[in-house]
Structure 1
């Protein structure tokens, strides 16, 4: 685990204490520190100090669970193409964060220990003050928003403060919720990636802890058009892989915040079929940077950067706790797709004119009418267009065919081979720049041909920063 974390630990991007972003690797790092401080393996330490005292005999961090526990392991399912499909067991290198197999009965003992501030029957795993410290709120983006404790995240609903933790993995999902003041613990596990915890908790609270008037009147707070415009834009969840080629998944975590009617804001996802859709939410201003959501009375806040510009939206998709960063116009999915579309069309034309057309003319016994000394330049343009088209089509297709979950075991050879193509075309794009300059200086071809070649060169050059932005230039695994 130490070797893995040393190589793959995500870098610290934000100033500590400024923003909240959950990271499984951070939890794995804590587990590794347990090993270093205690001098014994993490799994052994947890078994001795937590599982055994709490009589959690059917819980383990071993992958897969040892016999006889393995015989009772639920099969995980993933919803694909209109039906549930059984999925294989997922082995991970971040065991402390994602590899515990357990039962609801065992987790009941764990929850009882927390509700009794560290004690289960005659055993004690934590001092009472330590448990209270874990349960306290240690960070929030705004006083009216739920925040986080140590390992627990808050949920505020029906005037009840809950703390808990969610888990989702290939084939499984789980939810642990504690209501310390009500002395209640709820654990939900499902053998599918999409769980039912969120809806269940809301219905549970409405049934047993109803609030007669959930929608309290909101004191009007009018914002000017200019103030509302400051807040609108496209925002991206902070929890995305910034430094690997998996950054291409970032658009799945985009939301749009736009002006609504009567001085409100609306939250929605970009209107793209592959992004999925969230319901549209309406935000009513309560303070200049604080809004209340009409649909469920949750709050959303906005944050400024050091220059006073709006840079963040906090908890826009409650009950998820976290920050969304406002992105520049050129990072929006439509602009990125527009650039990709332009490049793809130009690359296709280069492929046709630079390779296909001369080949067809040669098969027909006709010469390719272009100055001989510059014919090689069109072949290179055709090669650049062909290789870039292969990359644009091949990479998403290969990732779709292999199932992205398999990337936790390493990058398949076909993907590595495809990532070699941009390295080749980047060098060739610089060659195209030389040929373009010579064509214009020497007035070599008809104007339309020079313009076409210049467009191919431009597309090849634009493609370089585009690839770099998405971490696709080089082997960034």
Structure 2
């Protein structure tokens, strides 16, 4: 193990320009190896120490929260399948799907059906923190899928579980965590609080961004949703937590879960498709070289971590990196670990000849982990494009070049190169009518990609926007025509009345507002990083953003008035037939832009 980690971890640091990492390895419940690599503080040349150097572990914090929940399940104080509103005392989750309540099992498997929501989840510094209970009460996300339909990773769901722990026990969550997990396991260098004792604060690693060919120390974000991601810990402390789960709840005389409860927590609990890995109760599965791994990743702005256990082998490790490159390095390390100690038989490349018509799978897919109802939807919508290549499916994600995938089983596609990836094969899930509705990665059980309908793909939405803008710009001929008639006294077959003038004024004003909003104001606010960060973090929406998002509201109201004017325009035969047709086309253009801003939630009341 020493030889493996001493080779693999420094190679990852060099490959991804990471200052430091901390590692611990556990076999049969015992810490066998731990080591720090590189620096926790570049400026002071402070080396990483696995016993004393703290790293932010991000979402691995959720495993502690879920373990607290399972203790209460074991005690009979929480029923995994009861409506969570049974336990909440200060607020309740809306009954969006009558008869289908959200349960703790749904929260633990990320299948509650909540949309993603990042606003107000973090703050700039510790002084701005407020209770996570308040966050949960004031920021209830929309339920966009019936519970138990599909997974969508939810920081809100994990934080809500901590609120339930408090409501059920009457004890603050931090106190409960310390008394029931950290203290029994002697995890004295672990804390969920950002306010650390002086010695621990001195030993907290800096976090880094690699910029301009050098690593720059930057402040990490501060989570309001502490139970979902704010624990700081050392590699040696994390070995104790890993070991107690490896040993099914008991370790060195401390029992935090019964063997039966631990086995339930580690067992498959929900899967998006029988052919993909499962969510357990908090842990999630990964399968590499036919080995079943349960664990969890953790990401903050600067730290990237991984806890992995191979239950059948009684082995596992924890690793954390203090720079953004760690997001890739950790999965490289996991794959190298499995290849080194549990190699698979030689794999063969799939046949590049899909057995099913390509149209069954081609299209655009968007992550279920995105926002649906607010302005956040416009800011980020992760998508995958599937196209038919010459002999294989071409898969494009983000700005990466396309990858070829060949069919290895009905609805299952592997990379044509035969090279395994950490995410695994692509699996297309079908509904009851045989239509593909979701795309899943074999080893990403905590979210999927839903197939986007034709009217929601960007070529269509952009086409509506651009066509609408082109139509609205034609209203510029109206003032030109008015000036021409005034200068030359030409009337032709025009019949201007007060009402017809008002019709053009209203339609023109609506057109001008839409054009300015789309071409000037919207790019200005979305390109203002400070403004968007303020929107995401502050408790109140920035005034400038509210003002900009009020513009399309006014434009839509004026568009409705312009449409109403179209009735007398035709009934009383104002202007020539051509000008009446043009006015009607302008109204259509207004409604095209109204549809576009509504689709992207670009209204002030959706901030």
* TM-score, normalised by the number of residues in structure 1: 0.85
Structure 2 CA distance for aligned equivalents of residues 377 and 86 of structure 1: 59
**Residues 1:440 and 1:212: Cα distance change in structure 2 (over 3 Å):** same
Q: Which position in structure 1 is the counterpart of 2:366?
A: 236
Which deviates more from structure 2 when the two are superposed, residues 125-134 or residues 438-447? 438-447
Q: Tell me whether 1:408 sits opposite 2:511 in the alignment.
A: no
Cα offset, 1:229, TM superposition: 2.2
Give 1:220-299 correspondences, 5 Å limit: 223-225=355-357, 228-251=358-381, 253-262=382-391, 264-269=392-397, 275-277=398-400, 279-287=402-410, 289-294=411-416, 295-297=418-420, 298-299=424-425
Q: Which position in structure 2 is the counterpart of 1:383?
A: 509
Cα offset, 1:162, TM superposition: 0.9
Kept in 2: contact 1:219–1:286 (CA 8 A): no
Kept in 2: contact 1:286–1:292 (CA 8 A): no
Give 1:21-170 correspondences, 5 Å limit: 21-78=152-209, 87-170=218-301
Kept in 2: contact 1:221–1:286 (CA 8 A): no
Structure 2 CA distance for aligned equivalents of residues 63 and 459 of structure 1: 52
Which deviates more from structure 2 when the two are superposed, residues 115-124 or residues 402-411? 402-411
Structure 2 residues without counterparts, runs of 5 or longer? 1-131
Structure 1 CA distance for aligned equivalents of residues 588 and 218 of structure 2: 45
Give 1:294-443 correspondences, 5 Å limit: 294=416, 295-297=418-420, 298-315=424-441, 318-319=443-444, 321-350=446-475, 352-353=476-477, 371=496, 373=498, 374-392=500-518, 393-403=520-530, 404-406=532-534, 407-410=536-539, 411-443=541-573
Cα offset, 1:131, TM superposition: 1.8
Partner secondary structure for residue 211 of structure 1: coil
Cα offset, 1:189, TM superposition: 2.1
Cα offset, 1:86, TM superposition: 5.0
Structure 1 CA distance for aligned equivalents of residues 212 and 159 of structure 2: 33
Kept in 2: contact 1:167–1:174 (CA 8 A): yes
Kept in 2: contact 1:281–1:293 (CA 8 A): yes
1:361-400 per-residue CA deviation (whole Å, 9 max, x = no partner) reads: 69x9999988363344333333222322333232343233
Cα offset, 1:97, TM superposition: 0.7
1:81-139 per-residue CA deviation (whole Å, 9 max, x = no partner) reads: 88766544423332111222223232122112222222333322222222222211112
Partner secondary structure for residue 151 of structure 1: coil
RMSD: 3.2
Partner secondary structure for residue 2 of structure 1: helix
Whose relative contact order is higher, 1 or 2, with alpha carbons under 8 Å and at least 6 apart? 2
Structure 2 CA distance for aligned equivalents of residues 446 and 191 of structure 1: 70
Which deviates more from structure 2 when the two are superposed, residues 153-162 or residues 445-454? 445-454
Structure 1 CA distance for aligned equivalents of residues 215 and 473 of structure 2: 39
Kept in 2: contact 1:172–1:189 (CA 8 A): yes
Structure 2 CA distance for aligned equivalents of residues 437 and 286 of structure 1: 59
1:47-76 per-residue CA deviation (whole Å, 9 max, x = no partner) reads: 121122222222222235454433443343
**Residues 1:291 and 1:450: Cα distance change in structure 2 (over 3 Å):** same
Kept in 2: contact 1:135–1:150 (CA 8 A): yes
1:185-222 per-residue CA deviation (whole Å, 9 max, x = no partner) reads: 2222233445221222222322333334133x769997
**Residues 1:445 and 1:358: Cα distance change in structure 2 (over 3 Å):** closer
Partner secondary structure for residue 593 of structure 2: helix
Structure 2 CA distance for aligned equivalents of residues 211 and 223 of structure 1: 27
Q: Tell me whether 1:461 sits opposite 2:591 in the alignment.
A: yes
Structure 2 CA distance for aligned equivalents of residues 229 and 240 of structure 1: 25
**Residues 1:193 and 1:377: Cα distance change in structure 2 (over 3 Å):** farther
* TM-score, normalised by the number of residues in structure 2: 0.68
Partner secondary structure for residue 528 of structure 2: helix
Partner secondary structure for residue 475 of structure 1: helix
Partner secondary structure for residue 429 of structure 2: strand
Structure 1 CA distance for aligned equivalents of residues 371 and 299 of structure 2: 17
